Structure formats: structure tokens, C-alpha cells
Amino acid sequence: MSVEIQQKIVMKQNSPSKSPISKTTKKVTKTPSPKKNVKKSLIKYLASPPKTETKAKTPSKSESKAHNEHQSSKTAIPKKKLIQNLIQLDQEIINSTQDNSKNISPKKKTKNQLSPIKDFSYRPPSNTVFDLQEYLDDLQARQIDEDLHDSDYKFLKKQILQSKKAVVVTGAGISVASGIPDFRSQEGIFKQIKEKTNSENNDISMGTGKDMFDFNFIYSSPKALSLFNDMIFDLHKKIKNTQNTAFHGFIDNLAKKKKLKRCYTQNIDGFETHLDNLVIKHPISLKKKEWPNVIQLHGSINHLHCIKCRKIFDIEDKHFEGQINKKEGSDSLDYFIGEDNTVQISDLLPDCPECAEAESVRIVAGKRPQGVGKLRSNIILYNEEHPESEGIGRVVESDILTNSDLLIICGTTLKIPGVKRIVKEFSKSIESKKQETGEGGAIIWLGNEIPSQSIVDYVEYIDLVVLGDCQKFAKMTEKWFE
């Protein structure tokens, strides 16, 4: 009986009628080669500084499932639950007939089942939802540590293990578990800053907390800049003393096993640098050999750059000493309300040591002084030109041309148009390669929410939506890399 059920499952997995390949081939042949379009689209991306777009409606799980069915009308969603029930029944029968079966360690069983994964050819219909929590609960109930009969799980594992050029695109969702607040969520930094500022000040107008990341607001007055500096310094200290999340560990594992082509992150926290195999570098060079494996798309909270010579420095306590000393322990806001309010914006920005040295050399040589630049935060603000756009554009372009074989999108809802376009380009490139060679490659969406309908339509080729906590996902994969 168990063999029979096993065969049924295999047939389900390998049945040609269930495979979406014939359908997607038609779709992709209409898609122009991504190589031709790379440059144009990147220029479009880089021309616009990070701005939010109108919030797209997120469909409920049932709506998305309905969409899946629509997307693959000829390719029914795998009846996972049914399969799981069959397996469960299958196991119960084995357990009841073999007294020693309970003594088989799950680990040993798992290893014995690993070999067929290479020949596993199942591919889920586009936008199939793999409910991670449901899967993990099921494992717990059955007291096993992995279920290689679950086609979606097996597909996910295979794609990650066979990948050699994975691209990971991340957002705030991967860092939330560290305790550093998300910028846009209800309890996020925007909200905290707005409440704090509006309750303590009546001479400063902050429309939304987002103003705190707006170039025009921050540099509008010494007080606004002082608030910004306080926030940067506090956040930097917090991040320095906080541990990275398990998902950062997952990206590190990809790099350790030589599977990571690049991680593109929207996060400014730089948690990646807490790990051995991940590297962040600013400025992002125009030379390929100098590119780090982690690209921060929106700058870094841990760096400052000179507004004159553009040199970048690691942030240090001394950069804030001037401001802190002037405050003499009092609240920065009291300092500005004081009688002797002669502080200028430039007083709140440290001098650039590079410019200062060049200036002193000029003076000694009797040359005309050129001035010393000021250091400012290396976070990319709203309403400013992206200073590293050219470098980022080159990395993205090169990575697309070198044919990535896996794209994982995690912890982001893709609200920033530039990031959305990067995802689209990688997705097109992977799909195109898949059709050309008939081989693997996958686009995986990972997060607590199903992507909005507009994102599903825009990205077009999502293979699997892993619905659940990315930290649990990361912990689940740890044993894969052992």
C-alpha cells in the first residue's frame, strides 16, 4: 500500500499536464531579451531618488489563491493537503506494521531521502503559495524534521542547494526581529519621531515622520539637523550592539557556500557586516573587482561622506562630540532654545579629515585655501540625488548579464519603484535563461504577506510564494548548509 501511494505522489509531481512549462514558454517568447533592455531600464531606475508609491491593495490569501488558479487555469495548484494526508496515513500504516519504525532517527531518514533531490523535476505552477507555518506545524505533529514528500518544500530546497549565482533582494522585514524598528510600520521609526518631535516642539513643523528622512527638512534649520543627528547616532549605537537576525545568517550561509552572487538590500542598518562572509563597501566602485557582495541601495547609517570630496568614513563617536559637548548633557532641544542661539547648520557637521589635511598642505605651500568639506550621513534621503547611483547601476547591469539562477525577494513589499524594477529585470533574466536552456532557476517570494496583485502582475514570474516568518525559514534552512 505504501508503495502504491508513493507512486501516486510521484506521478502527481512529474505529470506533464501539471507542469506550467508549456504555458510559460509561450509567455516568455514574447518577452524581449532582458539583455537588450537592461541599460534603458536601469537609467530609468537611477534617475529617480527613492520615493514611495501609492499603496497597492494586498489581496487576502484566498484572493491570491484565486489569482493563482486564474494564472494557471490549466495547471491546478498541487493538492498539498491531500498529499500530506495520504503520507500521514501511509506513515500510520507503516508505524502500525513495523514495531521498530519509531526507532529510526529522523536525521538518518532524511539523509537517505536526500539523493533523489537532484533528479527531482517538479516545478510548481506560477505563484504557488507554500505555507511555511502550516508546513512546520505539520512536521512538529509528525515529529520529523523535514518532509521530502512535500513537492514545494523539495523544490525550494533543490533550487537553493543547486544555485551558484543567487541574488537576494531584502527590505526592512529581515531586520525587524533584531528589535530595530521598521521605518514604515505602525510602531516604526517614522511614527516615533513624529510623536516625539511634535510633543516637544512648537517651532518646528514635521508633517509626517518621513520628513526626518527628507533632505529639504533636515537641512532646513539647525534644530531639524540636530534632531536628525541624534536619531542617527542613537540608531547607529543600537545597531552596533544588536545581533543580526537568522535571515542575515541565511544570506551569510549562501555566501559561505559560494552560492551568493549578490545581496541587494534596502536596509541602512548594515547588519550584514556582523557576519564573516558578507561585505559592504562605500562608495560603490565603478570597477567590477571592487564590488562587495552586499549592495546597500539606500546608503548606510554607519558611514558619513564628505559633501566636498565625497570620501566616505566609518561613523565614530568623535563625529558627534562637538554637538554633544556643546549640549553639555542637556537635551539638544534646550540647547537651541537657549539665549545664545548662534548655531549654524555647518557647526553641527564635523570637518572632513581628508579635506582638512589637503587644506593644511596648501596653506604650508602658500597656496590659496579651498575650504574644508563637511561630513554628513551616508543615508540616501528623500528629495536628493543618489550619489552612488552609477556604481549601483553597473553592479545590477553586470549581475543581470551574468545570468543569475535564483532570485529571493524577502522582507519587502517592493514599494520603491527602483527596487521593483531591479526585481523585474532579474526575474525576466532568470525566466529567459530557464526557457533557453530548459534548466532550473527560480524566483522565490518570502514574507509574512502574499505579494499584492500589482506586484504579482509586475514581477510576472514568481515560482513560489513562501508565506511565513523569514527567520523561521532561515532556521529551517540551517541544516541544509551543514
User: Binding residues for Zn ion, per CB under 5 A?
Assistant: 306, 308-309, 352, 354-355, 373
Smallest distance, Å, CB 282 to Zn ion?
14
Residue that the C-alpha cell 560603490 belongs to: 284
Smallest distance, Å, CB 283 to Zn ion?
13
Smallest distance, Å, CB 351 to Zn ion?
8
Q: Which is nearer to Zn ion, 252 or 354 (CB)?
A: 354
- CA-CA-CA-CA torsion sign (385, 390, 391, 395): positive
Q: Which is nearer to Zn ion, 142 or 308 (CB)?
A: 308
Q: Which is nearer to Zn ion, 158 or 319 (CB)?
A: 319
* Grid coordinates belonging to 443: 524566483
Distances (CA, A) of 96 to 92, 193, 447: 6, 61, 39
Helix (H) / strand (E) containing 84: helix 80-97
Smallest distance, Å, CB 383 to Zn ion?
23
Q: Which is nearer to Zn ion, 80 or 305 (CB)?
A: 305
DSSP string for residues in 305-360? EETTT--EEE--GGGGHHHHHHHTTS-HHHHHHSS-----GGGGSPBPHHHHHHHH
Distance CA 433, CA 347 (A): 54
Smallest distance, Å, CB 377 to Zn ion?
15
Q: What is the CB-side half-sphere exposure of residue 435 using CA atoms within 13 A? A: 21
Catalytic residue (one of 236, 248, 274, 298): 298
DSSP string for residues in 141-158? HHT-S--TT-HHHHHHHH
Mark the binding-site residues for Zn(2+), compressed into ranges.
306, 309, 352, 355
Based on the residue annotation, tell me whether 298 is a catalytic residue of this protein: yes
Q: Which is nearer to Zn ion, 142 or 311 (CB)?
A: 311
Smallest distance, Å, CB 316 to Zn ion?
16
Q: Which is nearer to Zn ion, 77 or 356 (CB)?
A: 356
Q: In angstroms, how far is the first alpha carbon of the chain from the final one? A: 35
CA dihedral 43, 44, 49, 55 (to 10 degrees): -150
Interacting residues of 403 by C-beta distance below 8 A, sequence separation 6+? 165, 429, 430, 433
Mark the binding-site residues, compressed into ranges.
306, 309, 352, 355
Distance CA 174, CA 178 (A): 9
Helix (H) / strand (E) containing 129: strand 128-131
Residues annotated as catalytic (active site), given as ranges: 298
